[in-house]
Structure 1
């Protein structure tokens, strides 16, 4: 149901796989009637999970939202790689001198915690000379990607069955999970290719409380728009708090 007046606030959307963040925003705009809205951090089409939408006056907090730490759950294969570092491009087998053990993977993953310099994927929207890097890659070029400062606050191994690994991580702005997996594979002298990604949390917004598109499209906007007046303080915290590492 579309409200007759603009509601200032946030929508905690659980974006499904298979659509862009822009398409998800368009669908929410159509359902809610809220034209003044934007999202605070893109999720790739193949990824799902928390996509925070800012509505009305809350659009002024987008920059604050983007500075909040994010928590991801990732699944990867360590016996292959690809140009895009995920399954959007063809898998390329990587020969190794044998399987890696769970303890080796866990130890290598833990070493990524802390501030560091990270090289973004070539297949990304970052611009080189005004042109998105992925467009240069499509032309067969190999653009030189400059390392950027990022922070990984913690990692947690969820499961491992060679060559598949699943883990969770909390990270700061600008961190590419695909690059983490590429670098994890390099440290283990094997492959590294993202096969699944879910964003579990963005700042104070958790996936457990997120609305699916189907549920949202049949509800009243007053039900799913979280009022700016109640959430503004949490969103504007500086520095934003780091989500705690789960037990186990």
Structure 2
């Protein structure tokens, strides 16, 4: 059994939970994924089965696209709704034109500090492990590339955007930085991955629909994979 399964991950399970589920259905085949989705996030998760796991690095390098809901007027210790939320007092409500200008200022190559609660390692220690112990690591900015940002909806404090970005971009950090630049604070309240490379969420199968009997029907053959890695 070899190929890629496009899974529509619901909020709740971790990416590794999904891998374990597919591994049980695949009955012994090697299984991995091509890009973590946080537990609260939903949407497209590429599950690699059999020989496709050998191409994991190529799959992970594909451009990603997300729909992100951002809550303005507050900050979070984790840059999402999971953390300690602190309201920003006396924050001015940004006008729509200011929001548009701010969003476009992030398009292109930019420096981004990963979230304190992330899997980034320093000296073998993961940032989220250190943060949970109350000793957060000092994380250095990393270069990321934002291809597009589109304003979908805005009614303060709710902001919804579409983001196309290169691999390695933290949307939680982007939400934090947008709020900071607007002067009102912000954190990621919901996230949906809609594309990975040329694979689309609309073609994905709900995780709950997969069984050992139908898994093979949802495998994209390895011969069809190389042409779909990048948009």
TM category, shorter: over 0.9
- Determine if contact 2:71/2:188 at 8 Å carries over to the other structure: yes
**SS of the residue 2:43 aligns to:** strand
Match of 1:40 in 2: 34
Match of 1:171 in 2: 165
Gaps of 5+ in 1: 1-6, 242-248
Q: CA deviation at 1:170?
A: 0.5
Counting matched residue pairs gives 231
Match of 2:6 in 1: 12
Of 62, 77, 102 in structure 1, the residue corresponding to residue 96 of structure 2 is: 102
1:68–1:80 distance in 2 versus 1, CA, 3 Å: same
**SS of the residue 2:205 aligns to:** coil
- Determine if contact 1:96/1:189 at 8 Å carries over to the other structure: no
TM-score w.r.t. the length of structure 2 is 0.96
**SS of the residue 1:208 aligns to:** helix
Deviations 1:36-91 (A, max 9, x none): 11101111000011110111111111100111000011001111111101111121
- Determine if contact 1:34/1:55 at 8 Å carries over to the other structure: no
Q: Residue 124 in 1 paired to residue 106 in 2? A: no
- Higher share in strand: 2
- Alpha-carbon RMSD across the aligned residues, in angstroms, is 1.3
CA distance in 1, matches of 2:212, 2:48: 20
Of 155, 160, 174 in structure 2, the residue corresponding to residue 161 of structure 1 is: 155
CA distance in 1, matches of 2:64, 2:15: 16
Match of 1:71 in 2: 65
Match of 2:203 in 1: 209
**SS of the residue 1:18 aligns to:** coil
**SS of the residue 1:43 aligns to:** coil
TM-score w.r.t. the length of structure 1 is 0.89
Write out aligned runs for 1:78-89 (5 A): 78-89=72-83
CA distance in 2, matches of 1:175, 1:96: 31
